[in-house]
Structure 1
Amino acid sequence: MASWAPKFLLSAATSLFLAFGAFAQGADGWRIGISTIGDLKHPQGFDHFDYVNPQAPKGGTLRLSDEGNFDTLNPLLARGEVGAGLSLVFDTLLMPALDELSSSYGLLAESLKYPDDLTSATFRLRAEAKWADGQPVTPDDVVFSFEQAKKNDPQMEFYYRHVKSAEKTGDRDVTFNFDEPNNRELPQIVGQLVIVPKHWWEANGADGKPRDISRTSLEIPMGSGPYKMVSVTPGSKIRYELRDDYWGKNLNVNVGQNNFGVIEYTYFADRDVMFEAFRSNNTDYWWENAAKRWATAYDFPAVKDGRVKREETESEMRKVGVMVGFIFNLRRDKFADEKVREALNYAFDFEELRRTIFYGSYERIDSFFFRTELASSGLPQGRELEILNEVKDKLPPEVFTTPYANPVGGDPAKLRDNLRTAIGMLKEAGYELKGNRMVNVKTGQPLSFEILLNGPTIEPVALAFSQNLKKIGIDASVRSIEPSQFTNRWRSRDFDVMYNGWGESINPGNEQAEYWGSDAAKREGSQNYSGISDPAIDALIKKVIFAKDRDELVAATRALDRVLLAKHIVVPSYTSRTSRLAYWNSITHPAELPEYGLGMPGVWWSTSAGK
């Protein structure tokens, strides 16, 4: 999240948009938490979050899996593959509530305050907050963490670009100063900052040499969180143990959480191997991402006799929008023309895939904020139309005249019609079929590209897409690589087309500049994967970031969504409205999962604990 642009005055509507109930704010301006949508749910002195089991037993082991490998345990570095579970070791200033849309409560910080114009935010650390070695968490640690995050991670530098400084302003107070007023998200996003111990990083490591936070490291880190890392097998396994001396174990935000005595992560070569480990009772929990496997692979005895439970839940999807699909690298000349990008969508036959390999599951994505109220639809109206009219001279006419719609296939006749349409669009873009190849009329170069995948899961989908492209003379090869290579490739922009996506919150803001902004397009490693750089999009991002109330935010986001769709930077694929979970009866969770999350591993517990 980041921000710039028009400086809106803080109106009564804005005050409501950034509301914190009177019960959550003291007379001196200190608050127990922050919400960017409506009031905080919980008052000062609340006992625990409603979605936890405060009597959950402590103990037992949770065995989890991850794909690929890891080569660093440094949480503030944008190089290498970071080991799973590091959030168990490091506390943040604030903790999000999983039953509220956009609320966080004090964790390391007991309270925060900020002026009406949001030009700064001050956090007061808890006196009892301690590192695992017993030293107190100090404002110097927070300042160090902020400065090192910006210095060593380009995404964090961009994310916090409007946080101009962090400074110690009291024995337990640290103040973040912003370079622009009225950016409603900045207090909350600095509350998400990972805090690391300055004194530990500035000391010598276990090898007797000075530690260097600017380099990858496999030394076991020290944090202030509920777990300590106790063993590491590089690239293969990480083991965490619950700390008996954790300073925050009795905090209201932690009651009923951090229940497992041991949490282990084991890495596997691919998801098929991971699933076999789950089936064999070598791991406890499985989040299913394949419709075919969900439909056909759960006929083993442990499912039939109830030792493995299966659930589908909407919890984590309720406040998440998503766009995922085949993303074009606009830095490649072959994808510079919008007509080329739009044409290729006509070769993706989702309906046929849904019939043949998806077992009737999934929905086709038609918005960058799919399944949320922020998704555009129909023709623009009302405030959305007014916002679009402000940049009308920079937009294609169809933004105002033609609602976005994906091509519909599902049978040979429809596919033939779609491919004919694609050929016509490519002709407008300067291509023609010569023999069985689609070539550029001016250069004679064939239209060909590589589709890059993060592992083999999407191969059947990508191969079907590739086969349809071949029917109109386009050679689209498919290449699956392991996760660390995939990460390095997209960070360095070394791809033609890749299968990837963006998650969206129900409360978008500063991160939109990271996803679509022109500055992010220039920066290696940003999440502007496509390299889209457009003045109209930049202007609409500012409208989102500085929306004065919820209605304005919805209208501005829909306008941004509509323009992004018109740019055809991705061939949208599909998603599910539910999460599919399977887990052995060695673990369990509260009767009702949190409204907006799975709470794994935080609110789950071992069924053998306490026995």
Structure 2
Amino acid sequence: MAKVETLAGGKRGIAATYTLRADARWADGKPVTSDDVVFSWEVGRHPQSGVAAAELFRRITRVEVKDARTFTLHVDKLTFDYNAINDLRLLPAHIEGPRFKSAPAEYRNRTAYDQDSTNPGLYNGPYRITSVVQGSHVVLEPNAHWGGAKPAFRRIVVKAIENTASLEANLLSGGIDMIAGELGLPLEQSLAFEKRHGARFAVITKPSLTYEHLDINLGSPILAVPEIRRALLLGLDRETISRQLFEGRQIVAESLVPPLDWVFAADLPKATFDPARAAVLLDQAGWKPGPGGIRVNAKGERLSLELVTTAGNRSRELVAQVMQSQWKKIGVELRLKTEPPRVLFGDTVTRRKFPHMALFAWYSAPESVPRSMLHSSMIPNGANNWSGQNYTGYASPAMDRLIDAVEVEPDKDKRRLLWREIQALYAADLPALPLFFRSDSFILPKGLKGLEPTGHQDPSPYWVENWRWE
């Protein structure tokens, strides 16, 4: 149940009432209650918690507890998706409460999920974690207190394999049974795998909303210049990269909104490969051809940039090498660096330590408002304990206004127009360089049924209770 509320100054908010399932229990047998909702909200809104989706929690001004299972969220803004609270992931107050209250600023580094991972009271889904071997694997076993459909498998082992060559080798040797598409083999590797082993495995390849791109550190004096960012994009032949590496199955991106989304603006101009125009822009920005074909500025400094991406991902490594070659032709030197994902996403990107560019992907959902990625209030820094995902440091009053407006516009036609402006401004400002929207390949044993690739940020294992063996 939801009711519009009039707030101070005539603003409109919303009071949305929810009721937890009567059979919702943590795996230690304790019920999931409204107290868990209140606690999760308190953690999320704390200025030192460092949660990525901090804005969601800040907008909830009050959690009104009706009873042990019923609660009302009072939100300070009436948004078009007011009833979507998928990012309000509940924490068990009876376990995490003492840890958080004793040291809020340190909580993100000392949660029970990190330090007591096999505690059954941390989980309320169909499975719970029963064993963790650092750097090797995690074991999941059924939650005896799960009230939904009974899961079919007595045990699921999730293995940590950091490079895609080893991932494929483990599948063929029987070390693992399947590779999920969300973080599995890159497309060109899975296509080759299907040709060789398609009779043995079921391979499902599906277009997704996953946005492969280059985040730009706009604090770099070189990349703060819009003309240079435009030249870099025009100097990339993304169509050829898609065709040669991915059999044309990676859709070239023009902004962060995928063509599969109903708000995609198909009429906006495309940034097609134009190295001649890229050279003109670099000339105008003061970077002239220099020794060895690399451009230099008036001080004699080389136009040299560093790109960091995930180690062990063959697809990204190939794309980065092609970009290095293509940019060299317009006089830009690109230095390549790889880091393990736990380092890249645990420190380098989240704390904005990359000097120039970071190559990675965003998982998205249909009509997902990019506040966390593009709003100026979402730039991570020490003061907000590195919360927010605006890793580029993009600060545009015009973009802020559009994001604020699209969130509260209930009319779909008007909202589509605002989305068009967001895409146009993104393509003009280029806080990031768009590359592709990925197609993901799921490689499954023939007998596994019930796994449905989603194509968006909610991964297929969310519905693991539907998996069956036939």
Equivalences for residues 213-224 of structure 1 within 5 A: 213-216=107-110, 217-219=114-116, 220-221=118-119, 222=121, 223-224=123-124
* Partner of residue 506, structure 1: 366
Give 1:203 shift. 6.3
Give 3-state SS (helix, strand or coil) of 1:149's partner: helix
Corresponding residue to 1:149 among 28, 34, 44: 44
Which residue in the other structure is 1:554 paired with? 416
- Give the Cα–Cα distance (whole angstroms) in 2 for the partners of residues 214 and 293 of structure 1: 36
The 3 A distance-change label for structure 1 pair 166 and 470 is: same
Give the fraction of aligned pairs with identical amino acids, expressed as a percent: 21
Whether 1:329 and 2:190 are equivalent positions in the alignment is no
Change in Cα spacing, 1:515 to 1:595, as seen in structure 2 (3 Å) is closer
CA contact (8 A) 1:167 1:175 kept: yes
Q: How does 1:346-357 map to 2 (within 5 A)?
A: 346-357=234-245
Name the structure 2 match of 1:38. none
Equivalent residue for 1:238? 138
Distance in structure 1 (CA, Å) of the matches to 2:353 and 2:453:
40
* Contact kept in structure 1, 2:351 and 2:380, CA below 8 Å: no
Partner residue of 1:123 out of 7, 15, 18: 18
Distance 1:593 1:468 in 2: 34
Give secondary structure in 1 for the equivalent of 2:43: helix
Structure-2 change in CA distance of 1:358 and 1:489 (3 Å)? same
Structure 2 unaligned residues grouped into runs of 5+: 6-11
| 1:464 corresponds to which of 322, 334, 337 | 322
Shift of 1:214: 4.2
In the alignment, is residue 174 of structure 1 matched against residue 71 of structure 2? Answer: yes
Structure 2 residue matching 1:357: 3-state secondary structure? helix
Question: Who is 2:297 aligned against?
Answer: 440
In structure 2, the partner of 1:534 is 396
* Aligned equivalents of 2:166, 2:421: Cα separation in 1: 43
Q: Hey, what's the Cα distance between the residues in 2 that align with 1:265 and 1:459?
A: 25
The offset of 1:340, in angstroms, is 0.5
Q: Give TM-score scaled by structure 1 length.
A: 0.66
Q: Deviations over 1:52-96 (max 9, x none)?
A: xxxxxxxxxxxxxxxxxxxxxxxxxxxxxxxxxxxxxxxxxxxxx
Give the aligned partner of residue 9 of structure 2: none
Distance 1:297 1:333, change over 3 A: same
Matched residue, 1:605: 467
The Cα of 1:241 is off from its aligned counterpart by 0.8
Tell me, yes or no, if the aligned pair for 2:239 and 2:248 is still in contact at 8 Å: no
Contact 1:404/1:566 (8 A) holds in 2:
no
CA distance in 1, matches of 2:215, 2:57: 26
Q: Which residue of 1 is the match for residue 348 of structure 2?
A: 489
TM-score (norm 2): 0.84
How far is the alpha carbon of 1:118 from its aligned partner? Answer: 4.2
CA contact (8 A) 1:141 1:198 kept: yes
What is the deviation of 1:405? Answer: 1.5
Match status 1:183 vs 2:79: yes
CA distance in 1, matches of 2:397, 2:404: 11
User: CA 1:507 to 1:570, structure 2 compared with 1: closer, same or farther past 3 Å?
Assistant: closer
The aligned amino acid for 2:295 is M
C-alpha separation in 1, matches of 2:455 and 2:214: 31
Q: 2 CA distance for matches of 1:224 and 1:503?
A: 24
CA distance in 2, matches of 1:214, 1:259: 33
- Range 490-499 or range 429-438, more displaced: 429-438
Describe how 1:569-588 pairs up with structure 2 within 5 A: 569-576=431-438, 578-588=439-449
Offset at residue 544 of structure 1 (A): 0.9
Q: Which residue matches 2:306?
A: 450
The CA distance in 2 between the partners of 1:364 and 1:156, in whole Å, is: 28
- Quote the residue 2:271 is aligned against: 406
Name the residue aligned to 2:280: 424
Sort the Cα spacing of 1:525 and 1:464 in 2 relative to 1 into closer, same or farther, 3 A: farther
Deviations, residues 241-268 of structure 1 (Å, cap 9, x unaligned):
112332x22xxxxx4x743332211101
Checking the alignment, whether the CA contact within 8 Å between 1:291 and 1:359 is kept in structure 2 is no
1:15-164 to 2 correspondences below 5 Å? 30=1, 113-115=2-4, 118-151=13-46, 152-164=49-61
AA matched with 1:583: L
Structure 1 CA distance, aligned partners of 2:67 and 2:31?
14
Q: Secondary structure at the match of 2:227?
A: helix
d(CA) in 2 for partners of 1:406 and 1:468? 16
SS of residue matched to 2:295: strand
Determine the C-alpha separation between the residues in 1 that align with 2:128 and 2:459.
23
Alignment partners' CA distance in 1, 2:428 and 2:455: 33
1:145-294 matches, cutoff 5 A: 145-151=40-46, 152-180=49-77, 182-189=78-85, 192-202=87-97, 213-216=107-110, 217-219=114-116, 220-221=118-119, 222=121, 223-246=123-146, 248-249=147-148, 255=149, 258-286=151-179, 287=181, 289-294=185-190
Distance 1:295 1:594 in 2: 19
Distance 2:129 2:186 in 1: 32
SS at match of 1:541: helix
Q: What is the identity, as a one-letter code, of the residue corresponding to 1:229?
A: I
Contact 2:194 2:203 survives alignment (8 Å):
no
The structure carrying a bigger helix percent of its residues is: 2
The residue type equivalent to 2:52 in the other structure is Q
Q: Displacement, 1:604?
A: 4.3
Q: What is the rounded CA distance, in whole Å, between the counterparts of 1:419 and 1:428 in structure 2?
A: 14
Relative to 1, partners in 2 of residues 1:333 and 1:228: Cα closer, same or farther, differing over 3 Å? same
Cα distance between partner residues in 2 of 1:593 and 1:354: 22
Please tell me whether the aligned partners of residues 306 and 336 of structure 2 are also in contact (alpha carbons under 8 angstroms): yes
How many Å apart are 1:474 and its aligned residue?
1.9
SS in 1 for 2:84: helix
Paired letter, 2:163: D
- Establish whether residue 477 from structure 1 lines up as the match of residue 335 from structure 2: yes
- Which amino acid in 2 is paired with 1:473? G
**How many Å separate the matches in 1 of 2:430 and 2:53?**
27
| SS in structure 1 at match of 2:349 | helix
Aligned length: 438
Q: Which amino acid aligns with 2:423?
A: D
- The amino acid that maps onto 2:445 is W
Q: Distance in 1 between matches of 2:212 and 2:90?
A: 31
After superposing the two structures, state which structure 1 stretch, 361-370 or 519-528, moved more: 519-528
Is contact 2:53–2:372 with CA below 8 Å preserved after alignment? no
| SS of equivalent to 2:67 | coil
Segment drifting more, 541-550 vs 517-526: 517-526
Contact (CA 8 Å) 1:367, 1:375: kept in 2 or not? no
Contact between 1:587 and 1:605, CA under 8 Å: does it hold in 2?
yes
Q: What's the counterpart of residue 364 of structure 1?
A: 252
Change (3 A) 1:159 1:447: farther
Amino acid of the structure 1 residue aligned with 2:266? S
Which letter maps to 2:135? G
Q: Which amino acid aligns with 1:585?
A: K
CA distance in 1, matches of 2:280, 2:115: 54
1:334 CA displacement: 0.8
Summarize the Cα distance change of 1:260–1:553 in structure 2 as closer, same or farther, 3 Å threshold: farther
Question: How much has 1:135 moved relative to structure 2?
Answer: 2.5
Separation in 1, partners of 2:249, 2:127: 38
